[in-house]
Amino acid sequence: MKIYLVGGAIRDELLGIKSLEKDWVVIGSSAEEMLENGFISVGKSFPVFLHPKTKEEYALARKEIKVELGHKGFKFDVNKDIGLEEDLLRRDLTINAIAKSNKGELIDPYGGIQDIENRVLKHISKAFSEDPLRVFRVARFYCYLSKFNFEIHEDTLILMKELCNSKDLDNLSFERIWMETEKCLSLENSYLYFQALHDVGASNVFSCDTIQFKENLLELKKTEGSNLDAQDKWAILTMNLELTTKVKIPNSFKKSALNFSNVIETLRNENSPEILLEAIMKIDGFRNKKSALKTFNLYSLLIDESDAFKKLNLNSLLGELSKVKPNNNFEKDSNLIKKEIYEKRLSIIKEHFND
């Protein structure tokens, strides 16, 4: 049995990035032997084990054979004769196909170290095209390594475009696409992930409106450095955009995007006290002050500095509006109560506009 550290941990080490996760490949062993040594089996479709102490993942060396469409359409050969180079060959990019022995020796059969030095994302073999999810993985690495100025190799771009043109992406579950997407939404320069997908024709999984998608990308790019969270970035990317039925996202992302779209739609043509009050009411800003403040702060990033909205102290304004109560007791006449509250709130907004 021989054990090697592989993949992202080696890549990140060579780039000076602190890697939190380590993956190991085991050569010349079997599932039975791993279990005998106290490893815990966790792999469903192929033998992956957790180390009994470190809980790091150890996978038996394997070959992958494409048998069906989609990223799950593989069968696996895990016999003891499979060597390290064969296991590394199945990986997506050369920079992810470097291994390190327990003596610290680097094994790099596919030129990953040179590609790291050249700052290039390059596929290992034509087998890259067997897994359509790799289109999204390459886009993610393009985003993840953006501070090192990595570029996608032209031959790899060709394969990515061919995958998109072949409609193989239709066989991907959106759940797997979202896993890659959500990771990138938490990274710096998130727009580069979507830019790469747009350039190869993969943005269609999100929306068929490529023109609006491109416009939103430009808006997202403008906000880089504003310390936005993943939900804010998704809200900007999808504003005024009709999403495909394939898109299934967590409710928290849906709600943030809906609130932002409501504000954008309401304030698009006019920024008066009446319109602002309407926007606040649409997103239930009186009861959900924190969420509303987050939404309006996001909106303020996209408008001109000369816009009157920019001058408002939103935190103070929403605080005042949420405390408004009727002075008079109209008993059962709820319409009169609503009217009085509305007029009081409108008066407060006008005062803030005039400050």
Q: Are residues 105 and 123 located together in one domain of the fold? A: no
238 in any annotated domain: no
Average pLDDT of span 108-137: 96
* Tens-digit pLDDT profile for residues 229-256: 999 999 999 999 999 999 999 999 999 9
Q: Give me the pLDDT at residue 187, please.
A: 95
Residues 193 and 184 sit within 8 Å (Cβ to Cβ): yes
What is the extent of the structural domain holding 150? 119-230
Q: Give me the pLDDT at residue 72, please.
A: 61
213 in any annotated domain: yes
pLDDT band (50, 70, 90) for residue 128:
very high
Q: Give me the pLDDT at residue 21, please.
A: 82
20-24, 35-39, 66-70, 323-327: least confident range: 66-70
241 in any annotated domain: no
Q: Give me the pLDDT at residue 67, please.
A: 57
Q: Are residues 113 and 134 located together in one domain of the fold? A: no
Q: Are residues 113 and 131 located together in one domain of the fold? A: no
244 in any annotated domain: no
With pLDDT > 70 as the criterion, what percentage of the chain qualifies? 95
Please return the burial class of 337, using the count of CB atoms within 10 Å of its CB with bins 0-12, 13-18 and 19+. Answer: middle
187 in any annotated domain: yes
Dmax over CA atoms of the chain, in Å, equals 86
Q: Give me the pLDDT at residue 96, please.
A: 96
Q: Give me the pLDDT at residue 73, please.
A: 57
pLDDT band (50, 70, 90) for residue 151:
very high
Backbone angles phi, psi at 127, to 5 degrees: -65, -15
Residue 263 has pLDDT above 60, yes or no: yes
248 in any annotated domain: no
14-28, 37-51, 57-71, 249-263: least confident range: 57-71
pLDDT band (50, 70, 90) for residue 331:
low
Residue 74 has pLDDT above 70, yes or no: no
Residues 64 and 71 sit within 8 Å (Cβ to Cβ): no
Strand-pair partners of 99: 6, 107
Tally of CA atoms within 13 A in the half-sphere of 71 that contains its CB: 17
Q: Give me the pLDDT at residue 309, please.
A: 85
pLDDT band (50, 70, 90) for residue 308:
confident
Residue 70 has pLDDT above 70, yes or no: no
235 in any annotated domain: no
Nearest-Å Rg of the Cα atoms of the chain is 26
Q: Show which of 118, 152, 186 is a domain's final residue.
A: 118
Q: Are residues 86 and 141 located together in one domain of the fold? A: no
Residues 342 and 331 sit within 8 Å (Cβ to Cβ): no
Residue 180: CATH number of its domain:
1.10.110.30
Q: Give me the pLDDT at residue 64, please.
A: 72
Q: Show which of 94, 118, 142 is a domain's final residue.
A: 118
Q: Are residues 1 and 111 located together in one domain of the fold? A: yes
Q: Give me the pLDDT at residue 46, please.
A: 72
136-145, 269-278, 327-336: least confident range: 327-336
Q: Are residues 124 and 204 located together in one domain of the fold? A: yes
Instruction: Tell me how far apart the terminal alpha carbons of the chain are, to the nearest angstrom.
Output: 75
Residue 276 has pLDDT above 80, yes or no: yes
Query: The pTM is what?
Result: 0.89
Three-state SS string over the chain comes to: CEEEEECHHHHHHHHCCCCCCCEEEEECCCHHHHHHCCCEECCCCCCEEECCCCCCEEEECCEEEECCCCCCCEEEECCCCCCHHHHHHCCCEHHHCCEECCCCCEECCCCHHHHHHCCEECECCHHHHHCCCHHHHHHHHHHHCHHHCCEECHHHHHHHHHHHHCCHHHHCCHHHHHHHHHHHHCCCCCHHHHHHHHHHCCHHHCCCCHHHHHHHHHHHHHCCCCCCCHHHHHHHHCCCCCCCCCCCCCHHHHHHHHHHHHHHHHHCCCCCHHHHHHHHHHCCCCCCHHHHHHHHHHHHHCCCCCCHHHHCCHHHHHHHHHCCCCCCCCCCCHHHHHHHHHHHHHHHHHHHHHC
Please return the burial class of 260, using the count of CB atoms within 10 Å of its CB with bins 0-12, 13-18 and 19+. Answer: buried
Residue 312 has pLDDT above 60, yes or no: yes
Q: Are residues 4 and 95 located together in one domain of the fold? A: yes
Residue 100: CATH number of its domain:
3.30.460.10
Task: Tell me which amino acid residue 280 is.
Answer: I
Residues 70 and 132 sit within 8 Å (Cβ to Cβ): yes
Pairing, β 151-152 against β 120-121: parallel
Q: Are residues 8 and 110 located together in one domain of the fold? A: yes
Q: Show which of 230, 264, 283 is a domain's final residue.
A: 230
Residues 124 and 89 sit within 8 Å (Cβ to Cβ): yes
Distance CA 281, CA 263 (A): 10
Q: Give me the pLDDT at residue 333, please.
A: 77
Q: Are residues 65 and 167 located together in one domain of the fold? A: no
134 in any annotated domain: yes
Q: Are residues 3 and 112 located together in one domain of the fold? A: yes
Q: Are residues 128 and 99 located together in one domain of the fold? A: no
Q: Are residues 72 and 129 located together in one domain of the fold? A: no
Q: Domains in the chain: how many in total?
A: 3
Average pLDDT of span 266-283: 91
